[in-house]
Amino acid sequence: MFRKNLAAKLTLVPSAVVIAVCFYGTILWTFYISLTHSTMLPNYRFYGFGQYLTLLSMPRWHTAFANMLIFGSLFIAGSLVIGTTLAALLDRNVKAEGLFRVFFLYPLSMSFVVTGLAWQWLLNPTTGIEALVRSFGWESFQFNWLASPEKAIYAVSIAAIWQSSGLVMAIMLAGLRGVDSDIWRAAKIDGIPVWRSYISIVLPMLRPLILTCVILLATAVVKSYDLVVAMTGGGPGISTDVPGKFVVDLLFQRANISTAAAAAILMLLSVICALSPYVYIELKRQKR
């Protein structure tokens, strides 16, 4: 028995070492580099928190961080609402359910780069939605958000919601199919409307799945670099710049490793701060 357990533990050692070195090790290395004055190559002489002060004084960082908050809020809320609604509709045993599932999951098969290029085409005033509507006679119709510095980040959010709602739908549908049928019978006997049963009874039971969806979507917010680059390139101007693109530009265009590392650490801290209250509440509920 001891040998069996020992063998099982030993098989986990390589994975634990890889995770410790490649994940936590790189986080620690990035944090230390953010405390140096490195430029093109790492310089390990301690410099203090000067890079963080420099970063917080840069207007472009303020724009990128604000865009991440706007994009993240809309993306997570929109994907959760649309994905959960689609899952609830499919859970009512609609006809051709398999066809609808494939239809709603299809955007998930595309990368953010392809999604960005597709929506760039859709929002092009000469070939996209605007041109289609105008061809029907509505000559004053305008839907050219990518050219507007005020609306471009919302267009990016719409594209991301379209791509990721299918993921939420699949996760929530799996959870809904696991709900005990006696709960539905009891709600029906008590005369509770179906929509009220979902909101007041079923969805609270699926809180762990909702938490999973939030964490997956939050990681996509941090990795939103490829969608922004493919769709807007950060423009017009820097109106759709996000921290991910900010970090990559500092690394490969301005050769400023330490400031880029400081930005990456602030991104990590912002995600931890955003998710910690929700995770703490959920863990506290599970212990009760």
Which CA distances in Å does 114 have to 117, 122, 123, 124, 163?
Answer: 5, 12, 14, 15, 10
pLDDT for the residue numbered 105: 85
Mean pLDDT of 56-65: 92
Burial class from Cβ neighbours inside 10 Å (0-12, 13-18, 19+) for residue 109 reads exposed
pLDDT for the residue numbered 48: 87
For residue 70, name the pLDDT band (cuts at 50, 70, 90). Answer: very high
pLDDT tens for each residue of 150-199: 999 999 999 999 999 999 999 999 999 888 888 888 888 888 888 888 88
Q: How far is C-alpha 91 from the geometric centre of its chain's CA atoms?
A: 25
- 138 touches 130 (CB < 8 A): no
Instruction: Tally the residues of the chain.
Output: 288
pLDDT for the residue numbered 1: 56
For residue 2, name the pLDDT band (cuts at 50, 70, 90). Answer: low
pLDDT tens for each residue of 198-214: 888 888 889 889 988 98
Mean pLDDT of 239-263: 89
Give the separation between CA 117 and CA 221, rounded to whole angstroms.
Answer: 18
Give the separation between CA 192 and CA 210, rounded to whole angstroms.
Answer: 23
Residue 35 in this model has a pLDDT that exceeds 90: yes
Mean pLDDT of 139-155: 88
Looking at every residue in the chain, the average pLDDT score rounds to: 87
Residue 3 in this model has a pLDDT that exceeds 70: no
Neighbours of 131 (CB within 10 A): 13
- 240 touches 153 (CB < 8 A): yes
For 138, half-sphere exposure in the C-beta direction (CA atoms, 13 angstrom radius) is 8
> Nearest Cα to 85, choosing from 173, 163, 161?
173
Mean pLDDT of 60-81: 93
Phi, psi of 111 (to 5 degrees): -75, 170
What's the CATH code, domain 59-287?
1.10.3720.10
Residue percentage of the chain with pLDDT more than 90: 30
Give the separation between CA 22 and CA 2, rounded to whole angstroms.
Answer: 30
Mean pLDDT of 250-261: 88
**Residue burial 175-204, b: 16+ Cβ < 10 Å; e: rest:** bbeebeeeeeeebeeeeeeeeebbeeebbe
pLDDT for the residue numbered 43: 84
Domains of the chain, by residue range, sit at 59-287
